[in-house]
């Protein structure tokens, strides 16, 4: 099984995991900023985006087994939606440096959180996190 992964930047490793029916491109707004400080690994999950791996099972344990080889030791993992659930499962299986999960509530009639707003918030959290985590 082969997953698509782009690696950008230098520094401590951070892995970005997207949500269901998406691809790593949802993190494009974050990657340039994160790459100034981190080596950013942006994956397309099995059955998504540019990964040529078929999604043979949607079981979280199976997704974690497929993604695990692409997660560097002691990486930080940031997961959105399904990626957040997957990040939690990876934290049970691997030694991680840090874990960040978030979800997006679709905006309806002005109520909720849009993806751009969530990404802005995520950027702010990562900036604060960066100042608190020893290298």
Greater confidence, 129 or 47?
A: 47
Give residue-wise pLDDT tens across range 72-120. 999 999 988 889 889 989 999 998 887 776 665 554 444 444 555 555 5
Greater confidence, 100 or 49?
A: 49
Distance CA 83, CA 11 (A): 22
pLDDT of residue 20: 86
Backbone conformation region of residue 81, classed left if phi is above 0, alpha if psi is from -120 to 50, else beta? left
pLDDT of residue 134: 54
pLDDT above 90 coverage of the chain, percent:
36
Distance of CA 41 to the CA centre of its chain: 8
> With bands split at pLDDT 50, 70 and 90, how would you rate the model's confidence at 30?
confident
Q: Identify the H or E element spanning 106.
A: none
Distance CA 98, CA 59 (A): 23
Domains of the chain: 5-132 (3.40.50.1820)
């Amino acid at each position: 099984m082969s997953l698509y992964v782009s690696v950008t930047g230098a520094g401590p490793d951070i892995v970005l995991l997207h949500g269901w029916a998406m691809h790593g491109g949802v993190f494009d707004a974050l990657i340039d900023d994160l790459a100034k400080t981190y080596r950013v690994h942006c994956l397309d999950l099995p059955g998504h985006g540019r990964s040529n791996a078929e999604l043979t099972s949607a079981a979280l344990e199976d997704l974690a087994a497929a993604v695990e080889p692409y997660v560097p030791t002691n990486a930080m993992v940031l997961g959105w939606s399904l990626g957040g659930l997957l990040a939690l499962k990876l934290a049970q299986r691997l030694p991680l440096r840090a874990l960040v999960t978030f979800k997006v509530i679709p905006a309806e009639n002005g109520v909720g959180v849009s993806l751009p707003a969530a990404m802005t918030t995520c950027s702010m959290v990562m900036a604060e996190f960066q100042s608190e985590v020893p290298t």
